[in-house]
Amino acid sequence: MSEELSHIFRFCPRCAAEWPQIQRDRQLLCPSCGLSFFFNTAAAAGAFVFAGDRLVLCVRAQEPGKGLLDVPGGFIEFDESVEEGLRREILEELSIEVSDLRYLTSAPNDYRYAGIPYKTADMFFVCEALNGDPLRAADDVAEIVRVDPCDVNPDQFAFASTRRAFLVLLEAMQKQGLFA
Ligand SMILES: [Zn+2]
């Protein structure tokens, strides 16, 4: 990624010297003025929302992953807890409130937006839809589907982190009878 980042950040944002160094994919260092800037991992969260025994999933309306499956969720904003951010995203995308958020697992992800590669730490939770008839799609959601989790092909998920978390969910449901 560092070669790509060095072509995106061609100038020091403070002194405008050309070709600042990108070290270990995560630190911009300017030899001219000494600026040190870190590209930090972005926090994101997603929810496996159950409506009865059905899993509520979104079909993505936008790139990256347009047309592929996703869970409701998104980036955590400044000064937000992970749970607050996830509830906000669920409300925006599905127009529903959900039950207590139970932590499931986390996984790293690569998220490319507008040509820029971002590294994220995705945290996944399990919850239940509270209102009976949720689910109005937001702008960035093409369609909302309710599926039997056993019918979902993990390859249909847009992101590697969601695929990993979905397999953890299936294992938890099968081994422990949890979350069903
Ligand atoms: Zn500089």
Q: Per-residue pLDDT tens for 102-117?
A: 999 999 999 988 888 8
CA angle centred on 77, ends 21 and 128, rounded to 5°: 130
d(CA 72, CA 15): 41
Average pLDDT over residues 70-97: 95
Average pLDDT over residues 14-43: 94
Neighbours of ion ligand 1 (CB under 5 A): 12, 14-15, 17, 30, 32-33, 35
How many whole angstroms from 26 Cα to the centroid of ligand 1? Answer: 16
Report pLDDT for 121.
98
Report pLDDT for 37.
96
How many whole angstroms from 115 Cα to the centroid of ligand 1? Answer: 24
Mean residue pLDDT of the chain comes to: 90
Domain 42-176 sits in CATH 3.90.79.10: yes
Q: Where does residue 25 fall: left (phi above 0), alpha (psi -120 to 50 degrees), or beta otherwise? A: left
How many whole angstroms from 5 Cα to the centroid of ligand 1? Answer: 16
Would you place residue 77 in the very low, low, confident or very high pLDDT band (cuts 50, 70, 90)? very high
pLDDT reading at 176 higher than 80:
no
d(CA 22, CA 18): 12
Output 12-19 pairs: Cβ under 8 A, ≥24 positions apart: 13/37
Could you state, in order of their start, the residue ranges of all structural domains in the chain?
A: 2-38, 42-176
Report pLDDT for 131.
72
Report pLDDT for 180.
46
Average pLDDT over residues 50-65: 91
Average pLDDT over residues 18-40: 93
Report pLDDT for 4.
82
How many whole angstroms from 121 Cα to the centroid of ligand 1? Answer: 29
How many whole angstroms from 113 Cα to the centroid of ligand 1? Answer: 26
Report pLDDT for 154.
94
pLDDT reading at 179 higher than 70:
no
d(CA 124, CA 14): 37
